[in-house]
Structure 1
């Protein structure tokens, strides 16, 4: 039996992109607001001091310009005869020193630079310091991924247009230069070339030195584009011209790099952009229907089912299965439990998945318990140990809530712990090595969308050629393992980057053993 663990497919693990996690932005915003308040006070005190200085200086210049023209060139005899000898000037001199100068000195003293610096240090300690360089680069990489995946027009981005949404944010030339250089470092040739060429060709505000640096990077990119990516780019151009190839499953391999094909990545990005890849003949056979599944619970309010992809790799989109109140309560109850999302059996943080998640145990949250009951009713599957007294702990998985902020994504992956699974392999429990028992793998996935997303955030299935947009209260269900016990390698999928706003989902994975009598096996080895 040949099995490849999912965590082997996940490339080199990188630093956590913590700032992309939605809740991680809140303390950063609060920190900046507190620092801004300190700086505002400092600025107001400095402005008051400068005004006092200007007033004092204007009073002096009024005297000396009237008598000398220029204070620096005023002869001594003029000072003696015209200024000291004039009682009005004498009075004004003492007034300036006793009034204007005293006010100016007091205002300068009130600036209190050190006090402002001490307060800023206190704020920094309160929030465990300021963001670091690696965090800035992480945010930059996520923004670049958005630009690359969605092929955003550079002029639109500069004007704050993201995913056809006009925002009030704008991107400056210095921002664009930084992103162009960061894209170069990360071998994102197309995005880097767009940014750098814009700065060189347009009347940008960058310095001559920076423009020369940009031109040098463009020459490097041209070489890379010509040699390193020649075959890939030609392949992508051919696909866009002649049509996308669906269902391309690479052969089994011990090399994780071979688990994905060029078509997987090309199709994924096209689906994220909202392109239609599924053939018209297949689309024509898809249909919508109401279903109560023979369950009295669903008789009065049957499921609204939309077929996204037909058998044997069927995907169903269930509309309005959660109420607005249920989605709000789920999101609210999950926030305290959120941590950086991890992948694989070793639970590691990776650039492949940028977001936060939390598994909510049974009997901890009333809303989670109610949703678990609803899940069993609408699927006919067994997904909650609390509802199965005879079930064992690792035959089930807790409901997972996942949150993706701006740039948040989960690159191409399979949900099961093992891929290329065959019927003669059954996953076992792992918590107690001395008393292991069969649990089975993640046979099926049900994913709820808890909110609408302003732009981006689709769930894309590149080998099927379909994508589902986040729709609050809806859910998508599919099977990762077919009835014969084989992995369905066509169910490779990804969470597209969020362009604007936030995306929150709830995932329920159904294990094989707990559903032996809920989802029947096929009559033949290769039945689906």
Structure 2
């Protein structure tokens, strides 16, 4: 008996302390609460300059206009995306947590010191006393910070460009201040949380982001004291980088991902050397190994960017130039809806099947899942644990919860020739697992992994009955996003999310052995909420 895993990433809701950063529904509610809070202060400030001065002291004009509704956070995003539009932009999400954890305590203190009539509005008091706001922790700020860092790393973005609202080819209305970028640097350099369990201090990343702070500080005409502070810190981090430097390319050793402790060489007292120049040298070094595997972290990111992997030609093979075709497999059922198949890799099999599920069905799946979201975990020696290796939330849907779920399974049975829908009343007979619904917030990632079980005790159910390993994976995309591809690190291939399409591959050889060529990971989502389904 074997089971089939089908992946789908979807949005669900269950607010848990220290997990808010990975829960888009919870974040969207906080956005709405905060908007009411600042709107109440803005309304009362029209006749009370003391409140107006307080708002301007902590919020720039662009942020204030966005919060009080004189402009949408993104043009028409509320109308186009609903709740998702509120949290699709990782820059907005970071600013939200920054305001609540860094600025709100100061604002709250000053509000309590104001004795002037008419006093604090009730909406303001409600926000300050909200359990949901009090649940937000430093862990959440760290989580959204690492989300931005993953995006910057994976897609080779400039922190300054990001601060100006640019995410790849998308220009947004978001802006980050020099102080906000400085908070990111402090988390990288002083923080106790690491982005990878064996990592040290992220000197290289801290320097990269600190250069953005310095540029913004001059443009914003900040105080000389602040500018001198950050310039002194830059020299300190450069020195610490050189003091602890380790050659990352010796023996093609693994490079920690997504952590970046060191550049490709020391600064050696060259204070004019920039992070961009360091990255250019690094590219030249990488090109020396273009026909062999680079450290897997770098491969993962470059695959996410869609870059050709010269070494990958040895890992995959194809006997046909045909990449796309429509096929009904001589099945009458598929005559009305033939499979639109795109071959991503022929041997081993990796295909993307397009236009599978109607958008109305997708909306219903999301609606049913929305109240079940929990933070996903990864298996570890000490048991399941939350990890920055997998920043995803998920839930589970039964076939009985939505009549069209069995129809989806039946369709994929015709296309894959595998048993997916329930055939037997015997509970010990497992054709496929329950639909796993999951969601990646902006910056969400799942590092390269296999979908198979690795130990014998994982091949049995709760009654200790053998159920077998996962033969194949069928991943159904339920949204369109920027970035967020599924990268196959052993094949050098990437599948891009397209709402209503699915990606299919076999996890096992015909003899039941695991095919490690299908190691894959979820690339960071640059903009948008990535939804999917796994069963």
Distance in 2 of aligned mates of 1:200 and 1:389: 66
* Aligned residue in 1 for 2:477: 449
Distance in 2 of aligned mates of 1:154 and 1:460: 24
* Aligned residue in 2 for 1:240: 287
* Aligned residue in 2 for 1:348: 385
Choose which of 312, 329, 349 in structure 1 pairs with 2:364. 329
Cα distance, 1:150–1:223 mapped onto 2, change above 3 Å:
farther
Distance in 2 of aligned mates of 1:502 and 1:412: 20
Give the length in aligned residue pairs. Answer: 410
Q: Which has the higher helix share?
A: 1
Distance in 2 of aligned mates of 1:237 and 1:391: 57
SS at match of 1:326: helix
* Aligned residue in 2 for 1:292: 328
Choose which of 467, 471, 490 in structure 2 pairs with 1:439. 467
Greater Cα offset, 390-399 or 147-156: 390-399
Alignment partner of 1:192 is 2:206: yes
TM-score (norm 2): 0.69
Distance in 2 of aligned mates of 1:244 and 1:190: 26
SS at match of 1:359: strand
* Aligned residue in 2 for 1:362: 399
Alignment of 1:25-36 (within 5 A): 25-36=27-38
Distance in 1 of aligned mates of 2:368 and 2:296: 36
Cα distance, 1:118–1:334 mapped onto 2, change above 3 Å:
closer
Alignment partner of 1:314 is 2:349: yes
Choose which of 460, 467, 470 in structure 2 pairs with 1:429. 460
Distance in 2 of aligned mates of 1:159 and 1:141: 18
- RMSD of aligned C-alpha atoms? 3.1
Choose which of 131, 149, 153 in structure 1 pairs with 2:158. 153
Distance in 2 of aligned mates of 1:464 and 1:171: 37
Choose which of 125, 131, 141 in structure 2 pairs with 1:136. 141
SS at match of 1:322: coil
Alignment of 1:83-482 (within 5 A): 111-113=117-119, 115-116=120-121, 119-121=124-126, 124-127=129-132, 129=134, 131-185=136-190, 186=194, 187-200=201-214, 204=218, 205=222, 206-224=226-244, 226-227=245-246, 229=248, 231=250, 238-243=285-290, 245=292, 263-277=295-309, 278-279=312-313, 285=321, 287-311=323-347, 313-344=348-379, 346-385=383-422, 387-390=423-426, 392=428, 394=430, 396-418=432-454, 428-432=459-463, 436-453=464-481, 455-482=482-509
* Aligned residue in 1 for 2:531: 504
Distance in 2 of aligned mates of 1:404 and 1:388: 34
Higher relative contact order (CA 8 A, sep 6+): 2
Distance in 2 of aligned mates of 1:279 and 1:16: 43
SS at match of 2:297: helix
Report if the CA contact (8 A) 2:178-2:216 is conserved. no
Unaligned runs of 5+ in 1: 1-14, 52-107, 247-261, 420-424, 509-528
Report if the CA contact (8 A) 2:46-2:52 is conserved. no
Greater Cα offset, 371-380 or 15-24: 15-24
Q: How far is 1:485 from its partner?
A: 1.2
Report if the CA contact (8 A) 2:374-2:395 is conserved. yes
Q: 1:424-452, CA deviations, whole angstroms, 9 ceiling, x for partnerless residues?
A: x69542312xxx32200111100011111
Cα distance, 1:373–1:124 mapped onto 2, change above 3 Å:
farther
SS at match of 2:437: strand
Cα distance, 1:394–1:298 mapped onto 2, change above 3 Å:
closer
Greater Cα offset, 346-355 or 182-191: 182-191
Q: 1:436-472, CA deviations, whole angstroms, 9 ceiling, x for partnerless residues?
A: 322001111000111111x110000011000011011
Q: How far is 1:497 from its partner?
A: 0.7
Alignment of 1:16-55 (within 5 A): 17-47=19-49
Distance in 2 of aligned mates of 1:110 and 1:301: 69
Q: 1:121-149, CA deviations, whole angstroms, 9 ceiling, x for partnerless residues?
A: 56533535262222111111111111112
* Aligned residue in 2 for 1:11: none
Report if the CA contact (8 A) 1:22-1:355 is conserved. no
Q: How far is 1:26 from its partner?
A: 1.5
Distance in 2 of aligned mates of 1:197 and 1:122: 35
SS at match of 1:375: helix
SS at match of 1:383: coil
Unaligned runs of 5+ in 2: 1-16, 54-113, 195-200, 256-262, 265-281
Cα distance, 1:190–1:109 mapped onto 2, change above 3 Å:
closer
Q: 1:107-132, CA deviations, whole angstroms, 9 ceiling, x for partnerless residues?
A: x987243x448952565335352622
Q: How far is 1:208 from its partner?
A: 2.1
Q: How far is 1:45 from its partner?
A: 4.3
